Amino acid sequence: MNLNRLKILYAVISIIFLLALAVSPLKNYFKAWRNIQNNFNETVEKLPQKVKPVSIGLKQIWVADLDRIDRCTTCHLGIDNSKLESAPQPFKPHSKIYHDIEKFGCTICHEGQGLATEYDAVHLPTEFWDRPLLPKKYIQSSCGKCHINEKLNSTHLLNFGKELIADLNCTGCHNIPGIEKNFVPLLDGIGSKVIDRNWLVNWLKDPAKIQPDTKMPDFLLTDSEVETLADFLMSFKSFRNGITLDALPDVYYKNKDEEDFIMLGQTRFREARCISCHAIEGKGGKLAPDLFKTASKIKDTWIYNYVKNPKKLQPEVEMPQYGFSDEEAAAITAYIESEFVDWDDEEETGSVHTPLADFYEKGLALFNKYNCGGCHQLSAKGINQNAGPDLSEIGSKKIYQIDWGKTNVTHTVYDYIETKVRSPREFGGNTRMPKYNLTERKVEAITTYLLSLKEEKLPVNFIHPADKKTESSLQGKVGKIFDRYACLKCHSLNDSGGSIAPDLTIVSSQLNTDWLRAYFKIPFTIRPIVEERMPNLFISNEEIEILLNYFNTVLLDDNLSTPINWAVDKKSEERGASLFYERYGCQSCHIIEGKGGYVGPPLDEAGSRLKPGWIYNWLMNPQKFKPETIEPRTEMPEQDALDITAFIMSLKKTDK
Amino acid sequence: MKILNWLAQTKIWQSIFRTKLPISTNLDKSLVIFNSLTLHIHPVKVRLRAIKFSYTFYLGMISFFLFVLLIVTGILLMLYYQPAIPHAYNNMKDLEFVVSNGSYLRNMHRWSAHLMVITVFLHMLRVFYKGAYKPPREFNWIIGIVLLIITLLLSYTGYLLPYDQLSYWAVTVGTNIVQYIPIAGEKIRFLLLGGNEIGEYTLVRFYVLHCVILPLFMVLLIALHFWRIRKDGGLS
């Protein structure tokens, strides 16, 4: 070989190698973030307000507690500088936030590849990072990582998602921590409840078609599955624990078409304010099923028994057991039978349906396959729990664990959950999750909540779990009455119960016993602008006395009293009146003798309704008792409060 | 030239390089080779046709060169690497985005490793097809096989270190295969993983294997391999 040629070859290769070597440092030097930082310094110079330019170099936030390094601030240079409000992205400051950016960093909330310094790697889903930047619509899911079960005002979507998950009873099939199971009707005796098998067939085909706001999802069953399941369910004629239905009284059959009888039913129906919970043709409360078309679905005997005592047929239902007499219950049944009929209902064809020989086994298999027993109880042998996946850490689901089927969905956890919630069968034929008719906002809310369920172990000092509600279970007679009338569905007691009606924890310190006694008999609205009122539960006198006794001995706060040396006299009353009208202008919200605003309750008979200790303490600090009340805390002097109390106490009910 | 000449006369130079300058006789030339650790890999006299490219394709030397490259880049990479979870993966990110020429360093290491496996394998093929394993070189053939195995093990142990999905599953599969070795399988798996499943200790074990134990054996065996080449009669 020619030695000269070899030398030339050697030289050329060396030069090529050297050039190749130079590529790496050059690439290093021309990284995009350097350009952005120079750009920032130029932008800042042009601004009228004075902003310090940055020195060129990588910037990062190191959060030792969370063991995270976020280099987002390399480009997002104005993140904590309010002077840069008008600057272009990525130099804008962060919107108002409750967390110190230095203490939390960025990716703990926004996710994304905080270690990276290139746009695509940071912001877009990439194969090399499981948690790409969270879209803005799901950002509240990160709040839920630390603020567990806390209902923050600023996380409406997260709160809504949790409510929806509880409302739709997702926990019937999935384990989701912190969410309780909802009431779902048990199916024992459904064969004696439903008038017509066809109704059940249509219902199973598409529940929302019959009841648009139903919580029952569409299981997308085939026609033969529907038929088998309907046969299976219709075979359950007897009720749980050997309960039998009481026969309708003769008065029902005698009078059921008479106007007076129906009117009585309608009056009782109104007095009981059934509409607070049950809607009728979409108007009314959302707590219980719409009663429109009920008479075309359910047998009258069942309705009568249910109105008389709901818990007999559905032990866990929250509907109160009203104190109706047999005749009244029958009248209500007659009213429902005459009014809530589906007039479009097809005439019964009269053809007798004969189920297949093995309908029971097949029906049971279907019942188990779709895990109907996850929500509906049914006492039959062979029903087993066939739950769906555990969702307690769904937000941390690894991308490789997800079966994407034939979808074109971007491979991210949030896209997966979103698609699954919107159309559950998208990812393959074997999935059995039913379809819910959800609006886009509801899909977003549910996705947000599910995303907040992470396996991530955050330091204890970051976590803000809400105080766990202590279930107060009342015992004895009082417990039975509370249970019967479902008081805690609306009212709360010692931090547990509903949030619809006022808290009862210290009710006896607030309200006068005589007033309460009368109120139980005829409830009315306290505030003119609030239409809702407590239903007339038709409580017996004996029960009222037991309740009042309990209120007066337990449900009070000993600290709520007026000062010992307080004496009411005419002078104090007059002074109170003038303070009421002139100094504090209370009449702008409260009505007295037909004059005043209608935001607060009228005070005409407040002297008979309220106790002086309550009025006095309320005036000193209203928010102490109802944190959300809009009554201003005026910081009035003690003497003023006492005088106004004296004035209000003088506004007693006059017997006419 | 003058300075070099002067330098060659100093005591320090002469204490390092035994051979006296100028080199004129054949004896001097052979002493240069003889007295040098690196050069005496060859016999004192090598005929030009004996180092013909088509005899060996230089595959052994290329492998060795890649190995040196791997040691150099590997040591530099060690400066930025912690064998811990989740830092290991984050360190890859640091190398990619923050460390100057970090990607280059890592790519060099990775591609050199791939290339080395290829060249070692080709080297073996060459030896096989040219019959260079025949006596008296049969023992060196065995050493060569062991070197191939160590090369593969080095590749495999290095695979876990980034601690991404690819490495995790590669190690899961690998150690599950080990499990099927009769009698000792379970024990070996336990030993490799440092427990019953992949975790922090697995990472540490693979790290030590990759950076200390296997390279040490590699260096010793390479030395032996080279020494045997000469003792068994040189190239080809």
> What's the pLDDT tens digit per position in A229-242?
999 998 888 888 78
The mean pLDDT value for A339-345 works out to 76
pLDDT of A1 reads 54
Better-scored residue on pLDDT, B157 or A498: B157
Mutation pick from B49, B80, B98 vs chain A, by most beta carbons of A within 10 Å, is B98
Domain A476-553 shares a fold with domain A570-649 = yes
CATH of domain A570-649: 1.10.760.10
Task: Return the domain boundaries, chain A.
Answer: 1-30, 32-133, 476-553, 570-649
Q: d(Cα B171, Cα B202) in Å, to the nearest integer?
A: 9
Q: Is the pLDDT score of B148 beyond 80? A: yes
* Three-state secondary structure readout of A157-194: HHHHHHHHHHHCCHHHCCCCCCCCCCCCCCCCCHHHHE
Measured between beta carbons, the chain B residues lying within 8 angstroms of A117 are: 97-98
Q: Is B232 exposed, middle or buried (0-12, 13-18, 19+ CB in 10 A)?
A: middle
pLDDT at A655 over 60: no
pLDDT at A377: 87
**pLDDT at residue A656 in the model:** 44
Q: Average the pLDDT over A32-42 and give the result.
A: 92
Tell me how far apart the alpha carbons of residues A609 and A603 are, in angstroms, rounded to a whole number.
9
Rounded CA-CA distance B10/A402 in Å is 73
Residue B77 in domain: yes
pLDDT digits 0-9 by tens, A506-538: 888 888 888 888 888 888 777 766 767 788 888
Residue A124 has pLDDT above 70, yes or no: yes
**Residue B103 Cα, gap to closest chain A Cα (Å):** 8
Interface of B with A in 167-226 (CB under 8 A): none
Q: Do B36 and B136 sit in the same domain of this protein? A: no
- Quick one: B224 and B116 in the same domain? yes
Whether B129 has its CB under 8 Å from any CB of chain A: the answer is no
Cα separation of B138 and B144, whole Å? 10
Chain A residues in contact with B97 by the CB 8 A cut-off are 71, 115-118, 121
Coil, strand or helix: which one is A125?
coil
Assess whether B34 and B137 both reside in one domain. no
Residue A4: CB atoms within 10 A of its CB come to 8
Quick: pLDDT tens for A420-478. Answer: 999 888 887 678 899 998 999 999 999 999 999 988 888 888 887 776 655 667 888 88
Question: Is residue A80 a contact partner of residue A120, using CB atoms and an 8 Å limit?
Answer: no
Does the residue B236 lie in any domain? Answer: no
Q: Are residues B154 and B213 in the same domain?
A: yes
Within-domain flag for B10:
yes
Q: How far apart are CA A583 and CA A313, in angstroms?
A: 58
CA distances from A347 to A199, A296, A328 (A): 12, 11, 30
Stretch A556-580: mean pLDDT, rounded? 78
Residue B46 forms part of a structural domain: no
**∠ CA A52-B94-B118 to the nearest 5 degrees?**
150
Position A511 scores a pLDDT of: 86
CATH architecture of A476-553: Orthogonal Bundle (1.10)
Tokens of A417: 């959950």
Whole-angstrom distance, CA of residue A85 vs CA of residue A88: 8
Question: Which token pair is A99?
Answer: 């967390």
Query: Does residue B179 sit within a domain?
Result: yes
| Least confident among A122-136, A194-208, A482-496 | A482-496
| DSSP code per residue over A382-429 | T---------TTGGG--GGG---TT----SSHHHHHHHHHHSGGGG-T
Contacts of B163 in chain A (CB under 8 A): none
Asked if the Cβ–Cβ distance from A25 to B100 is below 8 Å, we say yes
Q: How far is CA B173 from CA A298, A561, B160, B177, in A?
A: 60, 75, 12, 6
The arithmetic mean of pLDDT across residues B11-24, rounded, is 82
- Tell whether B103 is within 8 A of chain A (Cβ): yes
Q: What is the mean pLDDT of residues B37-49?
A: 79
Unique residue bearing structure tokens 């260096």 = B219
- Residues B110, B148 within the same domain: yes
Cβ distance B98 to A28 less than 8 Å, yes or no, reads no
Please check whether residues B126 and B12 belong to one and the same domain: no
Structure tokens at A437: 């008719």
Q: What band does B172 get if pLDDT is binned at 50, 70 and 90?
A: very high
Tell me how many domains chain B contains. 2
**What is the reported pLDDT for A383?**
85
Q: Which amino acid is at A50?
A: K
Residues B147 and B37 in one domain: no
Strand-strand pairing, A68-70 and A61-63: antiparallel
Pair (B90, B185) in one structural domain: yes
Q: Report the pLDDT value the prediction gives residue A24, as an integer from 0 to 100.
A: 87
Retrieve residue A70's tokens.
Answer: 């976020």
B174 and B125 both lie in a single domain: yes
Round to whole Å and give the CA distance between A539 and A516: 13
Tell me the C-alpha distance between A447 and A1, whole Å: 72
Residues in chain A closer than 8 A to B103 (CB atoms):
24, 27
Instruction: Please report which confidence band the pLDDT of residue B236 belongs to, taking 50, 70 and 90 as the band edges.
Output: low
Give residues with Cβ within 8 angstroms of A429, minimum separation 6.
none
Residue B110 is part of which domain span?
A: 58-231
Torsion-angle region of A466 (φ positive above 0: left; ψ -120 to 50: alpha; else: beta) = beta
Residue type at A452 in one-letter notation: S
Q: Which residue, chain included where needed, has tokens 């009421």?
A: A580
State percent of chain A over pLDDT 70: 95
